[in-house]
A and B are shown apart, each in its own frame.
Chain A
Amino acid sequence: MTAHAYAGRTAIAGIGATEFSKRSGRSELRLALEACVAALDDAGVAPEQVSGLSTFTMDTNPESDVMRSLGIKELTHFSRVHFGGGAPCGTVQLAAMAVHEGVADYVLCYRAFNERSGHRFGTGVQDRVPGHTAEEVAYAWTSPFGLLTPASWIAMFATRMMHEFGVTSEDFGRVAVADRRHAATNPRAWFYEQPITLEDHQNSRWIVEPLHLLDCCQETDGGQAILVTSLERARDLRRPPVVIEGAAQGMAEDQQMMRSFFRDEITGLPEMGVCARQIWETSGLGPDDVQTAVVYDHFTPFVLPQLEEFGFCARGEAKDFIADGNIELGGRLPVNTHGGQLGEGYLHGMNGIAEGVRQVRGTSVNQVDGAEHVLVTGGTGVPTSALLLGAA
């Protein structure tokens, strides 16, 4: 049985973000700093108290620059998590471990980018210079054949899901409709007051069949920071602590970076299953104990197997769980109450952690009554991570 010592003894004390836009007009470093300052303000912690930083390997903002500009005198922990959008809950896990071990007292987790006005991930990897590393060689199996974008990699899984489970494009569309419904009442969301219908989804143009435009997340400029400390310290801060009841990273057999096409089955997300097992074992909780979830939604199809891997429904049945209205406000498990990355903004999942915190605090614009335990997941198709948050 997995029993993470830091679980239940560490907490998120503050969250902070910039606005989510298509053109921030500021450097990525400045976005990171603004988010960090906002998270510290939220908690009532001074920058000098921070002794740890954790971010993504993909983040362009060195810990040294963030430290300098925040006025931090000493750092005793700095760590990064690889594999793009799989990292968000992983940064929080590293922070929690560092705090629990006494390596650092307060750790800021951050992610900031100009992913719309600067480098856009969706434009493709066709211009990567073919090097000799294992990571570059992995692209040799897909890029020469025109599979060049995250949407194209996910589409390959989606077609197989449709074939094996009878999932339809409308089933994917219902995820987008739920996200956009939730975003429509969130003033921070890019798509505030802009809900969509299933018909809108079906009529949106193809990006990569079977994915329509409205199956794809936004491209966003912005920054998000999360402040982690011990539960004990968090009790004395400005906000009620949000307990890290479970935090996990996961990779599974024959894992590839968004292109795990070579496993016996490609319709599940076994790496998310690795996270789910750790989270449930550590927390002693299960899917029935969770009232709302932030489920990583860079592309709609992978929302389905995440619900299955965490046991909210049986394998192959997520389409029915969704079609029955369970993931919308008022349903069994409202998902992405901030609007998700389709509706609020694409911050590599870090904004989803913030929404999980708000649900536990009771401050979400789409508050779920009695949200005692909230699940948050990291990116899908990649080595990933997850969090279970709860009230103190």
Chain B
Amino acid sequence: MTDTTEPDDLLAALRALVGTEGPPTTPRHPVDETLVAHWCDAMGDDHPVYVDPDAAAASVHGGLVAPPATLDIWDRGGLKHARSADSPRGRALALLEAAGFTSVVAVNSELELRRYVRPGELLSNVEILDAVSEEKATGLGVGHFVTTRHRYSTADGEHVGDLLFRVLKFKPGTGRPAPGPGEGAPPPPDPDPALRPRPAINLDNEFFWEGARRHELRIQQCRGCQALHNPPTPRCPDCGSFDQGWIVASGRGHLYSFAVPRYPQVRGFRYPVLVGLVELEEGARLVSNVVGVTREQLSVGMPLEVCWLDSHPAQVEGETDARGPITLPQFRPATPPRREATLAAADVAEGDALPLFAVPVTTTLIVAGALATRDFTDVHHDRDAAVRAGSPDVFMNINTTLGLTERYVTDWAGPDAVVRALRVRLGAPNHPGDILAFSGSVQSVDPATGAVVVALQGANGLGAHVTGTVELTLPTASTPTQEASR
């Protein structure tokens, strides 16, 4: 039927569904402490009010609560219980599927919380089809945006929050070519790190590279006088000993200087290359790359922490490379510590920058995040399925992005900050091997009410993965933060 459907007819059929309302979902399980714990593990969120009953009891929440970003996961069907195709969105997507728009990605999620929900509560939502766009040409492909609104309530009918959700239903393989270099310009170099120059390794420095393969940052230490020397040397220039060992450095340090090569461009690097001279907290320095930051975010003195690039594989075209695999130390912005004492509204000013936060995107994070948000869509855990859908690899689901966004802002604000809304828009997908780098700033503060809006973005190697805002309430001088009334 599909190939003969006229675009106008399709749009008319879709638009006829706009405004229709589905039945309330039928949740199978209540808000669940165990899944909250899995969610916290996946997101790296150590917020105590989600998992620590004593800390939660002493908090503004008075007891355990579920992370705000989980509002829309609790009434999901699960692996064997797919979302009803009979919902308004399900019907719209079915029409599009039949017309050849076979792939889907989430692009917007805007959660508004009237209050935090608690373990044991049974949530369900009522869905309304809000809008279907005209056919749009997007980077992913030609498709339609489908927007729904969801009203979340408890079993006794209390309205606890709302969600605006937008997906793009598109034809795979019809995307615009990525913006490339200008006409006549050479193609960008292949960023395959295996094409980078290999380090020369001999008896004097092999301990460093053996350590790197194990993701240990080894710095030579003299067994005679304990002095550190990097680059290593067979004889300690301080005490004269030839007896040299090493320590495993913490990997924490700061940027002592940097250079940004742009020309000439050689294989194995993406230009401009951000090269840092890193001073470790133990005192030694080494040259490395700074990752998870833009050129503009580089500044002398910025705190950094080591991460690892397995650059040269053990096997090349099925043959073992006799030279051995190579792993390179890299440095990302130091993960900001979770604030223990909540920021007061008076401590915050418009324009204040949040610290940089770089999240390594791994297959484990993508899969764990998808499952912890009860999202069993195959493209988030099955590489073959993702490739069939036109993607180079699995990619992060929107709820994981939402969770990381929430963690970023609440780690900055402190345990008694209350999230009122999370609004994100997705762009470039997060694939394994990339780094999701969050940056943000305070967009507005109301000192009287403690209402703060943080604007943020998370960029990866492909561009802006997420942009959005988080609305929260901070304690004010006169009134400590109060949870919205129940």
Contacts and interface: CB of A to CB of B under 8 A. Distances in A.
Contacts of A141: 199, 231, 286-287
A146 B231 contact: no
A207 B264 CA distance: 8
Interface in A137-167: 137-149, 151-153, 155-160, 163
Contacts of B259: 147, 152-153, 155-156, 158-159, 208-210
A140 B275 contact: no
Interface string A249-292: 00000101001011000100000000000000000000000000
Contact of B269 (A128, A146, A157): A146
Residue in B200, B202, B289 with the greatest tally of chain A CB atoms within 10 Å: B200
B321 to A, nearest CB: 13
Contacts of B200: 130-133, 136-137, 139-140
B300 A209 contact: no
B288 interface: yes
Contacts of B286: 141
A140 B199 contact: yes
A304 to B, nearest CB: 15
Contact of B277 (A146, A151, A156, A210): A156
A130 B198 contact: yes
Contacts of A151: 261
Nearest to A161: B257
Contact of A156 (B205, B258, B284): B258
A152 B262 CA distance: 9
Nearest to B206: A137
B218 to A, nearest CB: 13
A123 interface: yes
Interface in B281-315: 284-289, 295, 300-301, 311
Contacts of A149: 261, 264
Contact of B257 (A133, A156, A208): A156
B205 A140 contact: yes
A163 B302 CA distance: 13
Given A126-B197, A141-B287, A261-B277, A152 B202 contact: no
Given A137-B204, A146-B269, A152 B261 contact: yes
Contacts of A124: 264, 266
A133 B262 CA distance: 29
Residue in A131, A133, A140, A158 with the greatest tally of chain B CB atoms within 10 Å: A140
Contacts of A144: 196-199, 311, 326, 328
A159 B262 contact: no
B258 A130 contact: no
Interface in B27-69: none
Interface string B314-326: 0000000000001
A153 B259 CA distance: 8
B260 interface: yes
B197 A148 contact: yes
Interface residues of B, number: 41
Contacts of A153: 259
B273 interface: yes
B262 A132 contact: no
B138 interface: no
B287 A130 contact: no
B199 A143 contact: yes
A160 B204 contact: no
A134 B257 CA distance: 25
Nearest to A259: B287
A23 interface: no
A141 B294 CA distance: 23
A321 B222 CA distance: 43
B260 A128 contact: no
A140 B300 contact: no
A133 B201 CA distance: 9
A122 interface: yes
A147 B275 contact: yes
Contact of A130 (B197, B275, B285, B288): B197
Contact of B263 (A137, A205, A261): A205
Residue in B205, B230, B262 with the greatest tally of chain A CB atoms within 10 Å: B262
B262 A208 contact: yes
Contact of B201 (A122, A137, A145, A207): A137
Nearest to B193: A144
A137 B197 contact: no
A146 B289 contact: yes
Contacts of B263: 205-208
A46 to B, nearest CB: 45
Given A137-B202, A145-B288, A148-B197, A123 B264 contact: yes
Given A143-B199, A206-B263, A138 B231 contact: yes
Given A130-B197, A147-B275, A155-B260, A262 B204 contact: no
Given A146-B289, A148-B266, A208 B197 contact: no
Contacts of A206: 260, 262-263, 272
B424 to A, nearest CB: 32
A149 B260 CA distance: 12
B207 interface: no
Contacts of B284: 262
A221 to B, nearest CB: 19
A226 B237 CA distance: 38
A144 B258 CA distance: 15
Contacts of B285: 261-262
A233 to B, nearest CB: 44
A48 B284 CA distance: 55
Interface string A197-212: 0000000011111100
B412 interface: no
B188 to A, nearest CB: 14
Contacts of B202: 132-134, 137
Contacts of B289: 145-146
Contacts of B261: 146-149, 151-152, 155, 208
A163 B300 CA distance: 7
Contact of B328 (A123, A132, A145, A147): A145
Nearest to B205: A137
A259 B287 CA distance: 10
B230 A159 contact: no
6 contacts: A145-B287, A147-B261, A149-B261, A208-B261, A208-B262, A261-B285
Given A140-B209, A266-B257, 18 more contacts: A122-B264, A124-B264, A124-B266, A126-B197, A126-B266, A132-B201, A132-B202, A136-B200, A140-B201, A143-B199, A144-B196, A144-B199, A151-B261, A152-B259, A156-B259, A207-B263, A208-B262, A262-B231
Interface of A: 122-128, 130-134, 136-149, 151-153, 155-160, 163, 205-210, 254, 256, 259, 261-262, 266
